[in-house]
Structure 1
Amino acid sequence: MDGKLGWFDSDAFYEVLDAERQARRLTWKQVAGESGVSASTLTRMAQGRRPDIDGLAALAAWSGLSADDFVRSESDRPQAEPLAQIATHLRSDKNLTPEAATALNEVIKATYARLRAQD
């Protein structure tokens, strides 16, 4: 990506932030109020633009997300497969019973298998 060693995946950050917003049943206006970022920052992010560093820090603090999880590089260190990471998060979700986590995991695995790019 333009010769940089690493970059911030703002699209992925926004998607996960949106999932957090939905889980808390909040509007984007409420997210702006609770996090201290402007509504225009959230609108720009929805349009694919990156937040400034202070906005990113505020949103990470509000959501409990780690900005480090969204730093990408061509030489990323090996990580667990996405499905394994998802399963881990589902099983640690205090809002889900073990049965519900298993059911969601099965749906995600089936959907992933159907939609993943073929090698």
Structure 2
Amino acid sequence: MSKSEFRLGPFYQALDRERLARNLNWKQVAEQSGVSASTFSRMAQGKRPDVDSLSCLLNWSGLSADYFVGANRTMPPLTEPLHQITSVLHADRNLSDDGRETMIDMITAAYMRLTKNTK
């Protein structure tokens, strides 16, 4: 992968975590973000969003494009607790990619289960 390549997988996973944290389905994300629902289907199939959709999704999610493009792999702290937790895991260079994603999946599932009655 070149240093300037867009990292679709981590971006889509981060969007999915934000979607779960907000208790939304993909159709609701499409409505709130102004991005077509088909964009999410294409992203799930490994196709990158167009620049306007990317901009809308970054604005909706509060994510930084810096983490998903280029060599910068440290996500900035975000307001959502789940983002804060996962950003620490993304920055941990001791974890393999697979280990990182496994931990993020476990923490996300536990967080969603434990907070579902409070939202």
Q: Number of aligned pairs?
A: 89
> How much is the aligned-residue C-alpha RMSD, in angstroms?
3.0
Alignment partner, residue 61 of structure 2:
63
Q: Give the Cα separation in 1 of the matches to 2:58 and 2:20.
A: 16
What SS does structure 2 have at the residue aligned with 1:60?
helix
Q: Structure 1 length normalisation: TM-score? A: 0.61
Deviating 4+ runs (over 3 angstroms): 92-96
C-alpha spacing 1:93/1:35, structure 2 compared with 1 (3 Å):
closer
Return the alpha-carbon distance in structure 1 between the equivalents of residues 15 and 7 of structure 2: 12
The amino acid of 1:61's aligned partner reads N
CA distance in 2, matches of 1:95, 1:37: 25
Residue 35 of structure 1: CA displacement? Answer: 0.2
- What residue in structure 2 maps to residue 20 of structure 1? 18
Distance 1:53 1:35 in 2: 14
In the alignment, structure 1 segments of 5+ residues that lack a partner are none
Deviation at 1:94, TM superposition (A): 6.0
Q: C-alpha displacement at 1:93, in angstroms?
A: 5.7
Q: Distance in 2 between matches of 1:42 and 1:94?
A: 22
